[in-house]
Chain A
Amino acid sequence: MALPAYATTKDKIWYYTFRVICYAIFFFLMAPIMIMIPLSFNVQPYFSFTPEMLRLSPEGYSLRWYQDFLSSDSWMRSIRNSFIIGIASTALATTLGTLAALGLSRSEMPFKGAIMALLISPMIVPLIISAAGMFFFFSQINISGTYLGVILAHTALGTPFVIITVTATLVGFDHSLTRAAASLGASPSRAFFKITMPLILPGVISGALFAFITSFDEIVIVLFVAGPGQRTIPREMWSGIREDISPTILAVATLMVLLSVLLLLVIELLRRRSERLRGLSPG
């Protein structure tokens, strides 16, 4: 919105002040994340810019923290663990969540509101309480300190996201399409995979991404339920921050930021595709 020609001086001052305030807030949001990227190339084990770095001289920069990260067994193991747990719990959460969302979006579903509130609750209940509950329960059934335990816990945390995104896609879904498929002789499962699935796929994928990032970023449950064999990336960062904070953390953080940029792009593309498919906005 540009300033109109008749704007008074007061209007102008306000117009620019407001923009300066807004950009300052955007700066507050982005700066902490951005500042870590150059610092991760620091030669010195410090968290501030050295004079060499400020002069942009090549001696001030190095890849030693990345090398440190890539040659560390515990970091590599944590990457593997994060992906095992993340992928398994995402697969479970997406399957269970999509089925449930399909049921919940049917008009005949009994107790819809109550069941919805219950299924969303893992997102609302403070993590420390979920973790405490699972800590006791999982050690009773002997899955504490196993992959299975962490995967089941992360599945519970991930399903609300799948339900929310898939239900949102189903809002614009035209149920006469499946009826048309049925009237043309398709079995329910064929109608689902040929008609319903392709249409709700953007919602399913973005739900799956949310579930994955939830598991990938989760630490409280891991602290309580996982054993030393299931240390994930956040768990490794946690002890890195608590015990010996070194710029290796910043190298990991930079790579994680790159990963989130990637995820952000995928989600945005999916959102656009979904809106186009549902005819909500042009291209």
Chain B
Amino acid sequence: MVQADAGAMPPSTTTTTAPKEKLTTSDGRSLKTALRQAERRRRIAAFLLVAPLLFFILTFFVFPIAQMMWRSVDNPQVVRALPNTLEALSGWDGRDLPPEEVFAALHADFVADSERPRREQAMGPLGVRLNYELSAARGAISRTARQAPNFEAPFRDAFTDAHRLWGDPALWRVIQREGRALTSAYYVAALDRQFDEFGNIELRDENRRIYISLFIRTILLSVAITFLTFLLGFPIAYYLSILPMRYANLLMICVLLPFWTSLLVRTSAWIVLLQQQGVINSTLVGLGIIGDDSRLSMIYNMTGTIVAMTHILLPFMVLPLYSVMRTIPPSYMRAAKSLGATPSTAFRRVYFPQTLPGIGAGGVLVFIISIGYYITPALVGGQSGRMISNEIARHMQQSLNWGLAAALGTMLLVGVLVLYWLYNRLVGADSLKLG
């Protein structure tokens, strides 16, 4: 560390005569300070090299994701649209319809909103937001927004005439509950729960529970895929590791070529193979094993997802396993056998434990990748092969319930980050192997 700065402080000028005296550099600073300054300069230099990328990743990767996570609790719609109503509603007990002054405040809010320029109007977003909690709320808001500026007192009757939902305490309870800047409602929905009329959280009806079973299915599918990649990856990694280097490199192509081939190419390959008019079915029919009318449905269901994803993720298991197995000396197995162990005992007690780091690394990697997989389940998964990512994409693009998409995404992300942290503890992020 010191040598690089040797030019700045030639050793000859350092006072060494009196042992009690402090060591100094030529310009009279103490050697300790000079060293510390040099160290600091080098630390800053190292940091400056990293800084551009760090800034880039923070701006274009970390910040957008943090912002997306914020959406899962952000709840500005009700507060923005109904400030007067919320104030008037603060003393309401949540049982009967609110009193007339609340409806007067509601009228004031509608009037105020209709006077805003069109782009800033808050009733549209309010309707969308309330509709997540109570279906038909959107229709109530939009119909009322057109008529409300012309309402006359008593407002309570005017509103309930305009739309029956204003006479329903349930709507008022939703407005009161969601009249805060932050909400837990998206997480409540993402966990298949809802608020009952007293504001307690309860499970949804059986037929409306989607997400918990989807999370469970995603985890089970990922476990199954991880296990299958292990089952198929272990023998070939072992076989590659005992072959002479020349042959191993040649056979390694069978692992690396799929690894390098486009994901969509591999997915379409499985469609070609597995679909009803595809290669496997046609061959089976041609050989007379199955009838033309009883072609197997192997794709657009869970089987399709599992087969295609196992194929796609297998290299991620084989490569770490192989690099660990290469380092295990074959003499250990021979020693175990010479001491009287049967081949299976030697394998179980001596060889297998040494491959555990590779199994851990490959397993966590495959599991992390498969739990957040989107493309393959979307193309070959059909209904039963859907995973949580597909549901997030659906809420992003079709139902446009971005808060719920963000809540589901945050839960998935936290799960993945915990696993990444584990993986880091296990093998270290910088030891990821690439091909």
What does the 1/0 interface line of B382-393 toward A look like (CB < 8 Å)? 000000010011
Question: How far, in angstroms, from A155 to B66 measured CA to CA in the complex?
Answer: 19
Chain A 119-153 near chain B by CB (<8 Å), digits 1 or 0: 11111111111101111111000000000000011
Q: Quick one: which of A14, A39, A119, A267 contacts B53, CB cutoff 8 A?
A: A119
Question: Are B258 and A120 neighbours in the complex by a CB distance under 8 Å?
Answer: no
How far is it, in angstroms, between the C-alpha of A238 and the C-alpha of B258 when the chains are bound?
A: 19
**Contact of A1 with B264 at beta-carbon distance under 8 Å, contacts A28-B311, A47-B275, A245-B271 already known:** no
Cβ B49 vs Cβ A125 within 8 A: no
Q: How many residues of B contact A (CB 8 A)?
A: 95
B15-23, B204-212, B247-255: which lies at the interface = B247-255
If A22-B236, A165-B434 touch, does A132 touch B409 (CB 8 Å cutoff)?
Answer: yes
The smallest beta-carbon distance between A165 and chain B, in angstroms, is: 6
Stretch at the interface among B102-110, B112-120, B195-203, B370-378: B370-378
A172 interfacial by beta-carbon distance below 8 Å: no
Interface string of B47-59 (1 = CB under 8 A from A): 1111111101100
Which A residues touch B266, using CB under 8 A?
32-33
Residue contact A257 to B265, C-beta cutoff 8 Å: yes
B347 CB to nearest A CB, Å = 11
Interface of B, secondary structure class, is: helix
Q: For A156, what are the chain B residues with a Cβ–Cβ distance below 8 Å?
A: 56-57, 60-61
| Cβ-defined contact, A29 with B258, below 8 A | yes
**CB–CB A129/B372 < 8 A:** yes
Assess whether A76 is interfacial by the CB under 8 Å rule: no
Cβ–Cβ < 8 Å partners of B3 in chain A: 179
Q: Which of B265, B271, B273, B432 has the most CB of A within 10 A?
A: B265
Q: Specify which of A18, A36, A107, A161 is in contact with B265 (CB 8 Å cutoff).
A: A36
Q: Does A253 contact B (CB under 8 A)?
A: yes
Task: Indicate which residue in A1, A18, A39, A117 contacts B424 across the interface (CB closer than 8 Å).
Answer: A117
Q: Which residues of B contact A122 (CB under 8 A)?
A: 57, 61
- Assuming the contacts A126-B412, A126-B416, asked whether A132 and B282 have C-beta atoms less than 8 A apart, the reply is no
The answer, yes or no, to whether A90 is at the interface (CB within 8 Å) is no
Q: At the interface, yes or no: B216 with Cβ under 8 Å from chain A?
A: no
Set B53, B235, B262, B271: member contacting A241, Cβ < 8 A: B271
**Most A C-beta atoms less than 10 A away, residue of B53, B68, B275, B375:** B53
Residue B39 at the chain A interface, CB threshold 8 Å: yes
Known: A133-B68, A219-B375. A119 touches B54 (CB 8 A): yes
A260 to B257 alpha-carbon distance, docked (Å): 7
Closest to B387 in A: A128
A100 lies within 8 A of B52 (CB): yes
A210-B434 CB under 8 A given contacts A120-B429, A261-B257: yes
A interface residues, how many (CB within 8 angstroms): 95
Cβ-defined partner of B4 (8 Å) among A152, A182, A238, A256: A182
**Which residues from chain A contact B56 at a C-beta distance below 8 Å?**
96, 155-156, 159
Check if A186 is an interface residue, CB within 8 A of chain B: no
CB within 8 Å of B: which of A230-283? 234, 237-238, 241-242, 245, 249-250, 252-253, 256-257, 260-261, 263-264, 267-268, 271
Q: How far, in whole Å, are A136 and B46 apart by their CA atoms in the complex?
A: 33
Cα separation A108 to B255 with both chains bound (whole Å)? 38
Residues of A within 8 A of B393 (CB): 128
Contacts of A155 in B (CB 8 A): 56, 60
Quick one: given A18-B239, A28-B232, A219-B375, are A238 and B264 in contact (CB under 8 Å)? Answer: yes
B31 surroundings in chain A (CB, below 8 A):
none
The answer to whether B291 has its CB under 8 Å from any CB of chain A is no
- Report B-chain residues with C-beta under 8 Å of the C-beta of A110: 43, 46-47
| Total residue contacts A-B, CB cutoff 8 A | 273
Complexed CA–CA distance, A29 and B257 (Å) = 9
Tell me whether B273 and A117 are in contact (CB under 8 A). Answer: no
- Contact residue among B67, B262, B275 (Cβ-Cβ distance under 8 Å from A260): B262
Interface of chain A: mostly helix, strand, loop or mixed: helix
A234 and B275 alpha carbons, distance in the complex (Å): 21
Assess the B254–A126 pair: CB atoms within 8 A: no
Closest residue of chain B to A127, judged by CB?
B374
Complexed CA–CA distance, A257 and B434 (Å):
19
Complex CA distance for A179 and B6, rounded to whole angstroms: 11
A99 at the interface (CB under 8 A from B): yes
Verify if A49 is at the interface (C-beta below 8 Å from B).
Answer: yes
Return the chain B residue nearest A176 by Cβ. B3
Contact A100/B412 with A47-B278, A108-B46 known, Cβ cut-off 8 Å: no
The answer to whether A133 and B65 touch across the interface, beta carbons within 8 angstroms, is yes
Interface string of B21-52 (1 = CB under 8 A from A): 00000000000000000010011011111111
Whether A103 contacts B257 in the complex (CB less than 8 A), given A46-B277, A164-B434, comes out as: no
Give every chain A residue within 8 A of B47 (Cβ-Cβ): 103, 109-110
The answer to whether B396 and A132 touch across the interface, beta carbons within 8 angstroms, is: yes
Q: How far is the CA of A110 from the CA of B54 in the complex (A)?
A: 13
Bound CA span A97–B47, Å? 13
- Chain A residues contacting B7 (CB-CB under 8 Å) are 183
Q: Which residues of B contact A268 (CB under 8 A)?
A: 249
Cβ-based interface call for B325 (8 A): no
- Render A51-80 as a binary contact track against B, CB cut-off 8 A, 1 for contact: 000000000000000000000000000000
How far is B67's CA from A193's CA once the two chains are assembled, in angstroms?
Answer: 40
User: If the complex has contacts A18-B239, A33-B269, A48-B282, are A128 and B389 also in contact, measured as CB distance less than 8 A?
Assistant: yes
User: Does B368 sit within 8 A of A, measured CB to CB?
Assistant: yes
Taking a contact as CB atoms closer than 8 A, the residue among B49, B263, B272 that contacts A36 in the complex is B272
B420 close to A97 (CB less than 8 A) = no
The interface centre, meaning the residue of B62, B257, B379 with most chain A CB atoms within 10 A of its CB, is: B257
Residues of A within 8 A of B254 (CB): 26, 29-30
When the two chains form their complex, are residues B48 and A103 in contact, meaning their CB atoms are under 8 A apart? yes
- List the A side residues contacting B283 at CB < 8 Å: 48
Question: Is B243's beta carbon under 8 Å from chain A?
Answer: yes
Whether A164 contacts B61 in the complex (CB less than 8 A), given A99-B49, A257-B261, A260-B260, comes out as no
Contacts A29-B314, A121-B61, A217-B264 aside, 5 further interface pairs with beta carbons under 8 A come to A47-B271, A99-B50, A99-B53, A103-B51, A106-B46
20 cross-chain CB contacts under 8 A: A26-B251, A35-B279, A48-B281, A97-B53, A99-B49, A115-B54, A118-B57, A126-B372, A126-B413, A130-B65, A133-B67, A134-B61, A137-B63, A159-B56, A219-B263, A241-B268, A253-B264, A267-B260, A267-B435, A268-B249
**A-B residue pairs, 4 tightest by C-beta:** A126-B372, A103-B49, A133-B64, A137-B64
